[in-house]
């Protein structure tokens, strides 16, 4: 089975958390699901460098990683995902969507209202239990 390692950002701004929605996919388990933004590490990058670069590329936002929240191990039908998740701060709350179809800034209590990708569900639980 294919293995993928990524870094994701839980971006906070003025007490709210950023969620982004994936577009339509032929894979029903990720099609139009909500997730925390991020991406794959490049050779020689640290996890923190990866998340800063990915958020700049995907959302045109500058973030500051604050602390590692958790690492999620999740198996989808066709690959295994290892996702390192960081709590981050953003100076602005206006992402520019380049890969996603929508975004929402949510209070912690509102996170359960979204249809999250499977790998992101443990992150929501970790945030609610902090």
Do 65 and 9 touch, CB atoms closer than 8 A? yes
- Say how far apart CA 7 and CA 72 lie, in whole Å: 10
Helix locations, the chain, DSSP H: 47-59, 121-128
Is the pTM value of this prediction over 0.75?
Answer: yes
Q: What is the pLDDT of residues 3-54, one digit of tens each?
A: 999 999 999 999 999 999 999 999 999 999 999 999 999 999 999 999 999 9
Q: What is the pLDDT of residues 42-74, one digit of tens each?
A: 999 999 999 999 999 999 999 999 999 999 999
pLDDT at 17: 98
For 2-128, the fitting CATH number among 3.90.79.10, 3.30.390.30, 2.30.30.60, 3.40.50.300 is 3.90.79.10
Helix locations, 16-120, DSSP H: 47-59
pLDDT at 23: 96
Do 22 and 30 touch, CB atoms closer than 8 A? yes
Residue 47 gets the label, from left (phi > 0), alpha (psi -120 to 50) or beta, of alpha
Q: Is 111 helix (H, G, I), strand (E, B) or coil?
A: helix
Average pLDDT of span 71-89? 97
Radius of gyration of the chain (CA): 14
pLDDT at 130: 87
* Number of neighbouring beta carbons within 10 Å of residue 22: 17
Average pLDDT of span 91-99? 94
pLDDT at 104: 98
Q: What's the chain's average pLDDT?
A: 96
Of 57, 55, 29, 47, the C-alpha closest to 85 is 47
Q: What is the pLDDT of residues 100-122, one digit of tens each?
A: 999 999 999 999 999 999 999 99
């Amino acid at each position: 089975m294919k293995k993928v390692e990524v870094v994701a950002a839980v971006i906070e701004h003025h007490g709210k958390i950023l969620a982004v929605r994936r577009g339509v996919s032929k894979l029903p388990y990720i099609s139009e699901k909500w997730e925390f933004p991020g991406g794959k590490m490049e050779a020689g990058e640290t996890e923190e460098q990866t998340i800063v670069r990915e958020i700049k590329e995907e959302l045109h936002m500058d973030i500051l990683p604050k602390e590692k929240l958790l690492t999620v191990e999740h198996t989808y039908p066709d690959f295994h995902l290892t996702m390192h998740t960081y709590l981050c701060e953003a100076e602005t709350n206006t992402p520019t969507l380049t890969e996603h179809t929508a975004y929402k800034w949510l209070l912690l209590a509102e996170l359960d209202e979204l249809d999250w990708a499977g790998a992101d569900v443990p992150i929501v639980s970790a945030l609610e239990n902090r």
